[in-house]
Amino acid sequence: MTADARPDAATNASGRKGGRLSRREDIARIALDLFARNGFEGTSIRDIAEAAGLTKPALYYHFQDKEALYEHVLVERMSGLIEGAHDAIASTDDPVERIRLFLDRHAARMDREREAWMVSRQSFLSLVDSARRERVTGLRDEYEGLLRDLIAAARPAGSTRKPTPRSSRGCFCRPSTTCRAG
Q: Give a yes or no: residue 137 inside a domain.
A: yes
**pLDDT tens across 29-77, in order?**
999 999 988 888 999 999 999 999 999 999 999 999 999 999 999 999 8
The pLDDT > 70 percentage for the chain reads: 71
- Give the chain's domain count: 1
**Residue 46: DSSP 8-state:** H
Q: Judge whether 68 lies within some domain.
A: yes
Residue 33 placed within a domain: yes
pLDDT at 7: 39
Q: How many residues does the chain have?
A: 182
Lowest mean pLDDT among 12-26, 64-78, 100-114: 12-26
Confidence of residue 110 (pLDDT cuts 50, 70, 90): confident
Entry pTM: 0.72
Residue 13 lies inside a defined structural domain of this protein: no
**pLDDT greater at residue 1 or residue 104:** 104
pLDDT of residue 98: 95
- End-to-end Cα, the chain, rounded Å: 46
* DSSP single-letter state for residue 78: H
Sign of the torsion angle spanned by Cα atoms 55, 58, 60, 62: negative
Any domain includes 73: yes
What is the structure's pLDDT at 15? 46
Residue type present at position 83: E
Domain housing 47:
19-168
> Where do the DSSP E strands lie in 16-106?
16-17, 20-21
Contact criterion met (CB below 8 Å) for 111 and 166: no
DSSP letter at 15 equals: S
User: Distance (Å, rounded) from C-alpha 66 to C-alpha 4?
Assistant: 10
Please report whether residue 153 resides in a domain.
yes
Predicted pLDDT at 156: 82
Does the pLDDT of residue 14 top 80, yes or no? Answer: no
At 3, the pLDDT band (50, 70, 90 cuts) reads very low
Q: Which CATH number does the domain housing residue 28 bear?
A: 1.10.357.10
- Give the pLDDT score at 165: 58
Q: Is residue 42 part of a domain?
A: yes
> Which DSSP state fits 76?
H
**In a domain? residue 10:** no
